[in-house]
Amino acid sequence: MEKMTLLPSGESSVSSDWVIAGASPESTRWESLDDDNGATSYVSCNDSGAEMTIEFANPSVAEADIDFSVAPSVRFVSSGRSDHRRFPSLVAISFEAPVGVSAYTESCSYDAHVSSFETINGTARATSDGVNPWTYADLEGLEMKCTKSFTAEIWLSYLAIEVTYTKAVTADNATFFGANF
């Protein structure tokens, strides 16, 4: 099995409650989420119900190089922490597109910690909507929605999508016919 990581490439809708922050803040929210650099750059939010929808880059592997007869699996990978001294910070993360409605919502509880960020990975999903396997077009249109729960402030430093797939087998006619054919 092969893996590719899709990084944030834009934002389709974001509440102003999701704020760009850090020691070296980026100019956009999605840029703050494209590398796991802890408190260097991150987005923060402490308002319950505030939403942020992030768009992701197209796959780095060509469609012909993925064997779609073996369903790829897709999951989110994140890094964050609660800024509260005692309470965890809760964020619901879900696929917003290609489904069009929040699907596969997972509640993430980022622990309170003075300086360490914690990695939370979503469940690997073999279907885009609970029934249909992922298509290349689905992978090209992925978006994730983050919805803040309660008021313990979240510092979210990384949000990516990991795609696990089977590499397509290509015919090697030189071996079949002989190297000198």
Which residues, including other chains, have CB under 8 Å from residue 20's CB and lie 6 or more apart?
26, 27, 28, 29, 32, 41, 43
Establish if 33 belongs to a structural domain. yes
CA separation (Å) from 73 to 23, 44, 159?
Answer: 35, 29, 17
- 177 in a domain, yes or no? no
The predicted pLDDT at position 103 comes to 81
- Specify the 3-state DSSP secondary structure of 39: helix
In order along its 181 residues, the chain shows pLDDT tens digits of: 999 999 999 999 999 999 999 999 999 999 999 999 999 999 999 999 999 999 999 999 999 999 999 999 999 999 999 999 899 999 999 999 887 667 899 999 999 987 899 999 999 999 988 888 999 999 999 999 999 999 999 999 999 999 999 999 976 655 555 555 4
Q: What Å distances lie between residue 122 and 2, 63, 80, 159, 163, CA to CA?
A: 18, 24, 13, 11, 12
CA distance 78 to 154: 12
Residue 28 belongs to a domain: yes
* 176: in domain: no
pLDDT of residue 125: 95
Q: Is position 161 within any domain? A: yes
Tokens matching residue 41? 């750059």
Look at the chain and report how many structural domains it folds into. 1
pLDDT the model gives residue 146: 97
Domain that residue 164 falls in:
2-168
66 part of a folded domain: yes
Specify the DSSP element, H or E, that contains 92: strand 89-97
Q: Give residue 175's pLDDT.
A: 54
pLDDT at position 180 is: 54
The whole-number pLDDT of residue 177 equals 54
Separation CA 144–CA 56 (nearest Å): 8
Instruction: Find the CATH number of the domain harbouring 48.
Output: 2.60.120.260
DSSP H helix total and E strand total for the chain: 3, 11
Q: Does any domain span residue 173?
A: no
- Burial of 71 per CB tally in 10 Å (0-12, 13-18, 19+): middle
